[in-house]
Amino acid sequence: MSISPAQPLQLRPASGWLPPALDESAVDVLYDDLVAASRHRRRRGYSQPMLRVLVNSDQVDPQFGPQATAAHVLPEPRAWVQRLAGALLECMTGVRSTSQISRWVSPLVYERINARAVIAKRRGARPMHRSLVRKVHVCAPDDGVVEASVVIQHDGRVRAMALRLVGVDGRWMITAMELG
């Protein structure tokens, strides 16, 4: 049995890729459009339609929709807010992946955090130190609802964060967040 000699490898140019890759100027245009659209949405009070957490609403099936959870069934909110507030800020600055907090925030809050993370990653700035939660103040205006104000030190700055948590399906879910 004889072995035939190997044929030389022929290199050919790659055919046209579909869709073609975006160049830097096209990426910049898309990014500017995203920023302009988010500013326009905030002014009008518009948010992209997506699944909202509607607890105790006529539009939600009472058996299969999100279920409201009483406060006595949920974990202690102060410790929970303390752990999650720093993680939220780290997600917004691009240090932590936003997918890590997707279970704990509503889709609208997740959209806002993800948009800030994209902008932070594009800038390329990385914080020097981890976030340090200084103070947490919690009040409960209703059963299964908590409003918290948090003072956070992050990368040499002290910032304020306001959160609204609602008990849904046996866990706390952040349905509103403001960062100062």
Helices (H), the chain: 24-44, 77-92, 107-123
Q: 134: pLDDT confidence band, cut at 50, 70 and 90?
A: very high
Q: Which residue type does 75 have?
A: P
Token output for 179: 């960062």
Residues in a beta bridge with 150: 136, 161
All domains of the chain in start order, with CATH: 67-179 (3.10.450.50)
Q: How far is CA 11 from CA 14, 16, 163, in A?
A: 9, 15, 58
Q: Kindly report, residue by residue over 69-117, the tens digit of the pLDDT.
A: 777 788 888 988 998 998 898 888 888 888 899 889 988 899 999 988 8
Q: 163: pLDDT confidence band, cut at 50, 70 and 90?
A: very high
For residues 103 and 124, what is the distance between their CA atoms, to the nearest angstrom?
Answer: 26
- Mean pLDDT within 141-168: 89
Instruction: Using the predicted structure, report yes or no on whether residue 20 has a pLDDT greater than 70.
Output: no
